[in-house]
């Protein structure tokens, strides 16, 4: 008789992006979708957790269909929202609650990567505000 092995639930691309937003500590960030794609394209080669996000360089900025889909899903599920003037995203309370439970799905090394990406995201948002 074999004993069933306990398998760890796998996280989704939405879990990854939510975790980056949450761990960055940024409550409101640029709604410029091109800048968002550009940021993730710039850090993707350095972080294996982002390997599922493939970017195309065919337009003026790199774009990832998966990242676009994830952002739409997060908006639809209201884990992020657009501000009244539609130029900024806001991290919702729902996102913060989901991420707290979802972080257990990641290994310690993956959480370390997510924190580093979050820190870079925070620095990137500071630069965008100064433009």
Number of domains in the chain: 1
Residue 62 lies in a domain: yes
The percentage of residues in the chain with a pLDDT greater than 90, rounded to a whole number, is 51
Residue 8 lies in a domain: no
Q: In this predicted model, what pLDDT tens digit does every residue of 55-94 receive, in sequence order?
A: 998 888 899 999 999 999 998 988 888 887 777 888 888 8
pLDDT of res. 30: 85
Pairwise CA distance, residues 119 & 97, whole Å: 20
Residue 21 lies in a domain: yes
Residue 94 lies in a domain: yes
Burial of 2 (0-12, 13-18, 19+ CB in 10 A): exposed
pLDDT at 3 over 50: no
Q: In this predicted model, what pLDDT tens digit does every residue of 42-53 receive, in sequence order?
A: 999 999 999 999
pLDDT classification of 126: cutoffs 50, 70, 90: confident
Average pLDDT over the chain, rounded to an integer: 86
Residue 119 lies in a domain: yes
Residue 42 lies in a domain: yes
Find all residues with CB under 8 Å of 19, minimum gap 6, and list them. 99, 102, 103, 106, 111, 114, 118
Residue 29 lies in a domain: yes
Which residues span the domain enclosing 104? 13-124
Residue 108 lies in a domain: yes
């Amino acid at each position: 008789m074999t004993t069933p092995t306990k398998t760890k639930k796998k996280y989704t691309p939405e879990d990854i992006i939510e975790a980056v937003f949450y761990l960055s500590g940024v409550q409101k960030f640029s709604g410029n979708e091109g800048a968002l794609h550009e940021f993730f394209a710039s850090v993707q080669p350095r972080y294996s957790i982002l390997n599922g996000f493939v970017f195309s360089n065919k337009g003026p900025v790199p774009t990832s269909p998966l990242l676009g889909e994830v952002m739409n899903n997060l908006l639809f599920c209201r884990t992020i929202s657009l501000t009244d003037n539609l130029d900024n995203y806001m991290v919702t309370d729902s996102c913060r609650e989901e991420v707290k439970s979802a972080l257990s799905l990641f290994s310690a090394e993956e959480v370390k990567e997510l924190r580093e990406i979050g820190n870079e995201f925070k620095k990137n948002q500071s630069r965008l505000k100064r433009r």
